[in-house]
Amino acid sequence: MMESAGIGGAHIVPIYGVKGEEDKFLKYLSPEWVNMVKYTSQKAGELGMEIDMTLGTGWCYGGSWVENKNGIMSARIDKMENCNSNMTIDLTSTANYPVDTVLYVLADCEDGKRVDMTSSVSAQEIIIPDTITQATIYVLRMFGPMARVKRAAPGAEGPMLNPLSVSSFEAYVKPYEDAFQDSLGNSISSIYHDSYEYYGAKWSVELLDKFESNRGYKLQEFLPELQDKGKTDLSRRVFADYRQTVFELHRDYIQAVKNWADKNNVTFRDQAHGSPTNWLDVYAIADIPETESFGSSPFKIPKFDRDSNYISIQNVPNSDVYKFASSAAHVSGKPLVSSETHTWLREHFRVALSHCKPKLDKFFVSGINHVYYVGTAYSPKEASWPGWLFLCFHKFCPLQQPVCSFLCTK
């Protein structure tokens, strides 16, 4: 059906299953699931179509096999003033995270000296030695995971991956290597990395070493300045160096994905927007930089419908964002620039081709030449009305399944 309609391929993003169809679920990356992907690719190839796939389920990267230490990590600095010698400070965390590690303890003494007290930490407490008479103590903690995969497929529920850690990615892809046995490139044309939605990602096990290597000094010796976040000139410089290091960590992470794609004979599509980086640099790593439009754009077209009942008036896409992807592709010599297109253009059953056409035109004039319609869910003929619907959450639904609000009554 898709081929006869002129569609050039499909992109697989596995998500949660349909209520009432649990007996048909296929566990993610199981032999049965992999065989389905291979069969889909075979049929697509016979029709002259291509199959792409996200390297995960739902969004963002992550899964049941991701160890807590490889999940999204955040950090905080606890500050304790007027600390005296022979005081005992309790470092037991009150937060409930699987990973909660004290990385560094710094004493900022009244005489201006700064002392590393990390080695004095024992059993989640620290005793201030006699050599420190009066000081402010700073404790740097790393904790997480901060999030789980959104809309995970059956068997893939688990922590989101840390996007600031190459070692975490290297551990993450091992199940794919085992599942496809070096045959991924025979089934998939391109792997895909969605927009940066790793909320809370501020740290990784590599960060302190990366910072010292690239900046030339130890970040942990400047915890007071890092916590101040710009109150002084030195603080602004330290915080800028921290942000630059985060950029480099994510850039290295995306480069690791690209290298893995090359090794497995697939191309790599990446949405760099949203990431704490220079978007142009990160877009340019991908074989196919990909932008996104989320929501309804206004157009000066007579009777062009923007009914506030079915769109978010506040969420107006910015076409300048599209040009980050096309600019990076142009400068780096990439022939294709793709788009996640028509995402949440309007509410379900409220999108017409007359809404899609001007949005496509806006993409084309912004340099986008590879269009993905996102998204839809297959609905078999035997499914009861209104069929299988994607991303509908109305709590008053009388049909006992997720459908759109305008179909339901309170």
Give the pLDDT confidence of 306-361 residue by residue, as tens digits.
888 888 877 789 899 999 999 999 999 999 999 999 988 888 788 899 999 999 99
pLDDT score recorded for residue 401: 44
Tell me, yes or no, whether 269 and 177 share the same domain.
yes
The last residue of one of the domains, among 98, 121, 144, is 144
- Same domain? 394 vs 285: no
Largest CA distance in the chain: 81
- The residue written with tokens 């990267």 in the block is 61
Domain boundary among 121, 144, 167: 144
* Helical (H) or strand (E) element with 35: helix 31-46
CATH code for the domain of 344: 3.20.20
Query: 284 in a domain, yes or no?
Result: yes
% of the chain surpassing 70 pLDDT: 95
Q: Are residues 273 and 313 in the same domain?
A: yes
Please check whether residue 234 lies inside any domain of the structure: no
Please indicate, yes or no, if residue 216 is contained in any of the structural domains.
no
Give a yes or no: residue 390 inside a domain.
Answer: yes
- Do strands 99-109 and 114-116 pair parallel, antiparallel, or not at all (unpaired)? antiparallel
SS3 assignment, position 369:
coil
Comparing 67-76, 87-96, 217-226, the range with the smallest average pLDDT is 87-96
Q: Is 164 exposed, middle or buried (0-12, 13-18, 19+ CB in 10 A)?
A: buried
Same domain, residue pair 185 and 260? yes
Residues 317 and 249 in one domain: yes
Same domain, 201 and 59: yes
Pick the closest to residue 102 from 80, 120, 87, 124 (CA basis).
Answer: 124
Does 217 reside within a domain? Answer: no
Beta strand pairing status for 338-343 and 370-373?
parallel
Report the relative pairing of strands 9-12 and 50-54 from DSSP bridges. parallel
Exposure pattern of 298-321 as b/e (b: 16+ CB <10 Å)?
A: eeeeeeeeeeeebbeeeeebeeeb
Between the CA of residue 323 and those of 173, 255, 281, 375, 406, what are the distances in Å? 31, 21, 13, 22, 36
Residue 268 corresponds to which tokens in the numbers above? 């790599």
171 in a structural domain: yes
Residue 250 and residue 133 share a domain:
no
Q: How many domains does the chain have?
A: 3
Give the per-residue pLDDT at 363: 96
pLDDT at 297: 92
Is residue 271 domain-shared with residue 136, that is, in the same domain? no
Among 113-122, 155-164, 248-257, 311-320, the minimum mean pLDDT is found in: 311-320
Q: Per mean pLDDT, which range of 205-219, 283-297, 321-335, 367-381 is the poorest?
A: 367-381
Residue 407 predicted with pLDDT over 90: no
Is there a domain that residue 4 lies in?
no
Two tokens, residue 210: 């990366």
Give the pLDDT of residue 10: 93
* Residues 173 and 255 occupy one common structural domain: yes
Tell me, yes or no, whether 252 and 319 share the same domain: yes
Same domain flag for 63 and 168? yes
Average of per-residue pLDDT across 249-268? 98
Contact yes or no for 62/158 (Cβ under 8 A): yes
Report if residue 366 sits inside a domain. Answer: yes
Order of all β-strands in the sheet with 121-122 = 88-90, 125-127, 121-122
Q: Are 257 and 250 in contact (CB under 8 A)?
A: no
Least confident span in 105-114, 145-154, 325-334, 375-384: 375-384
Q: In Å, what is the CA distance from 235 to each residue of 77, 79, 226, 238?
A: 14, 16, 6, 5
Bridge partners (DSSP) listed for residue 159: 148
Domain that holds residue 64: 9-68+147-205+245-373
What pLDDT was estimated at residue 162? 98
Say if residue 81 is in the same domain as residue 165: no
Phi/psi zone of residue 365: left (φ > 0), alpha (ψ -120 to 50 degrees), beta? Answer: alpha
